[in-house]
Amino acid sequence: MTALPLRVLVLEDHSFQRSVAVNMLRQLGCCEVFQAADGARALEILQEVGPVDIALCDLRMEGMDGLEFFQHVGKSGLVGSIIISSSLSVDLRRAVQQIVSLLGLELLGDVGKPVQSSELEALLNKRLTACAVEFEPQSAPQLATEDEVRWALKQQQLQAYYQPKFNLLTGEVCGVEVLARWMHPLKGVVSPAVFMPVLERCGLLDELLFGQMHQALRLQQQAKVQGISLNIAFNLQAVQLSNSELTTLIKGVLAHHAAPGSGLTFELTESGLLEAPATSLESLVRLRMMGCKLSIDDFGAGFSSLQRLCQLPFNEIKLDAEFVRTLKQEPRCRAVISSTLALGESLGMSVVIEGIETQEQCEQLLELGCSQGQGYLYARPMSGPDLLRWLPISSAA
């Protein structure tokens, strides 16, 4: 048996179940295993022995329960990650998982009760892998300076990349989403994480948008020559809608390329639409009057009300990728996706599913009635020339 370099604290008030968990961990190779019957004793042990890699926690206990223990350890650094082991109902445990994350703790997993050795072993290995990655030297992306970003805009180094949207039933490309990439002359392709915060801070989002529109509309015309009709989606921030000249400028770009508004979609995240002022609402209405589609991006990730959804003139919902990512593990995700599809149909809104990465996910979504999707299973973001070369191949496939 290989010894595992993990320190584990078992927090369980039932003495027999605590003993089983401790023995199981030792059999799996954990040499340092500590145990406590409630949260108060667990805190005392942490003060005595120092930080642990994992706390295997029950939730409902006499004395200090699991929730209060989580609040105490919070961001203290005394607990590396949490494994929940509880007989509470699935919906309550799911809510506790959210609490763990909000308190700044890492949730390693939820094994329920009784604890199964195979599940526990898998989570121990997951923690070991995470530790190995943590110790690899990594550097956070350093933000570009305002002067660098302004120069990049002036030199047209911020290029439009395109991620296709698909009809899940036919495999046909039904549009593309425009993403920004910095083609740096020395550093190559630079991530948006380096320059997007600077654009937002310096009020340069409109300049980026109009630059992307000119690039994308030229590409749209080239695709049309190839016999392919592409709807092109651009990301808008809520702050941009407050510019009363926005729609006039967009109309000017469309006129310059002799392009109809019906070939464009504008995507806005729902978190930015909670309290859209009159100016923003007017901009949305004018975009629709121009024939453009409006899409709520990352739907389900924010907290907008259904009433707000009915008030705003959107005609597409993009469901957040997290629902697809956890579709297999979380039964409720199926219900959310089904409900969103039904909601879209009743409101006359199309629904696009984001984050499709596996064939299994695609098949599950088709069973639920999904018809449009986007994700790495189909295509990654690509440059304009690459997209034009790729489109005939995808059509032939």
Q: Among all residues, which ones are annotated catalytic?
A: 354
Asked if 324 contacts 301 with a C-beta cutoff of 8 angstroms, the reply is no
- Angle at which helices 331-347 and 359-368 pack, to 10 degrees? 50
**CA of 46: how far to CAs of 36, 56, 354, in Å?**
10, 14, 42
Q: Which residues of 251-288 are buried (b: 16+ CB within 10 A; e: fewer)?
A: eebbeeeebebebbbbbbbbebbeebeeebeebbebbb
How many other C-beta atoms are found inside a 10 Å radius of the C-beta of residue 140? Answer: 6
What is the rounded CA–CA span in Å between residue 127 and residue 120? 11
Token readout for 6 is: 């993990």
The residues pairing with 256 across neighbouring beta strands, listed in sequence order, are none
What is the rounded CA–CA span in Å between residue 124 and residue 2? 13
What is the rounded CA–CA span in Å between residue 335 and residue 232? 30
The residues pairing with 8 across neighbouring beta strands, listed in sequence order, are 33, 54
Asked if 368 contacts 388 with a C-beta cutoff of 8 angstroms, the reply is no
DSSP letter for each residue of 112-177 = -SSPPHHHHHHHHHHHHHHHHHHHS---PPPPPPHHHHHHHHHTT-EEEEEEEEEETTT--EEEEE
What is the rounded CA–CA span in Å between residue 314 and residue 285? 9
Give the type of residue at 19.
S
Token readout for 254 is: 């469309």
Helix (H, G, I), strand (E, B) or coil at 196: helix
Token readout for 142 is: 């350093």
The residues pairing with 183 across neighbouring beta strands, listed in sequence order, are 189
